[in-house]
Structure 1
Amino acid sequence: MSPLNPDSSRINDVLRDPLATLDLDLEAVELSPAGKFRMLRIAVDKDGGVTLDDIAEATKAVSAALDESDLMGETAYTLEVTSRGVDRPLSEPRHWRRNHDRLVKATLADGSQLTGRVGASDHDGVTLDVSGVERRLAYDDIAKALVQVEFNRKTKES
């Protein structure tokens, strides 16, 4: 593709190392038209979650890497660097690890659905507590999984 419309994989290649030096994982790259301009959204994450300081440092690193590469060309664009957020599917083992003890709704490869709390996870799969019963799932058996937002969750301490 031309510098006017770089694809996400080329942007990933340019940004992965500068973000890794900040201990951040590049989670998503979205480039979309916005009138005469373009909007480039970059989502990052790390163990323990990202802070506003992490986002500020990531924004500086991303901007510098893009300027140095000239990948975005001369057409103006708006850069937005953000955290991964809860609305993105869990698609990597690290996503499951980072969401330990969170409630997740999973659609399995066979089309069935289940909701459970994330337990132990490793490179092969994850254990979900589904209504008090532990269920081990291989990642290949999970078609889609989303964290469920819980308001006023009752914990053992409360």
Structure 2
Amino acid sequence: MNIEKRVRELVEEKIADKPNLFIVDIKMHSNGKLIVLIDGDNGLGIDDCVQISRHVGFHLEEENVIETAYNLEVSSPGIDYPLSSTRQYAKNIGRNLGIKMADGTKREGKLTAITEDAVIIEEKVKEKGKKAEAVESVIPIDKITETKVLISFK
């Protein structure tokens, strides 16, 4: 049985009545660490993490899915975790993003909107001898290799 697949089913079962929550990633690491990353359109509460953890842990034990000792960790992705779904992009509208493109270039700007297949950012573009201008750019999601939220401590 595929552990990650079973854990996904258990998490989906537990969050079925909470449409604002969604799975970001589930990974079973060789060191026995089972990581479940959940996010919410309005954030994720500690209570949700505890309930999901208990539900998953109980069923994994009951079904004896994992033969060896493991450590179950349920949390929201950290700020340094790349965005991976349109729902994650949507909850970060208004924030500055650093985007790595498939061609190796990097883009930076404020996320203003998201469509099914593109992100729209406001970039500062500076032409030689002119003042920097804010330009709206539409970036196809399939041309993006990684997107992270940029945190400013100014």
TM-score interval, normalised by the smaller of the two chains: 0.7 to 0.9
Identity of aligned residues (%): 28
Q: Kindly state the Cα deviation for residue 69 of structure 1 after the two structures are TM-superposed.
A: 3.5
Query: Is the counterpart of residue 16 in structure 1 residue 29 in structure 2?
Result: no
In the superposition, the TM-score normalised over structure 2's length comes to 0.81
Q: Shift in Å at residue 7 of structure 1?
A: 4.5
The one-character-per-residue Cα deviations of 1:102-149 (angstroms, maximum 9, x if unpaired) are 111001122211111111112121110112211011111212111112
The alpha-carbon distance between structure 1 residues 106 and 92, as it changes in their structure 2 partners (threshold 3 A), is same
Q: Which runs of no fewer than 5 residues in structure 2 stay unpaired? A: 125-133
Give the whole-Å Cα distance in 2 for the aligned partners of 1:61 and 1:48.
22
- Structure 2 distance, partners of 1:93, 1:125, is 9
Distance 1:124 1:139 in 2: 5
Which residue does the alignment assign to 1:112? 105
Letter of the 1:149 counterpart = I
Aligned residues: 144
Contact 2:99 2:147 in 1 (8 A): yes
Aligned residue for 2:49? 55
| Closer, same or farther: CA 22–82 of 1 in aligned 2, 3 Å | same
Partner of 1:30: 27
Give the TM-score taking structure 1 as reference length. 0.79
Matched letter for residue 12 of structure 1? R
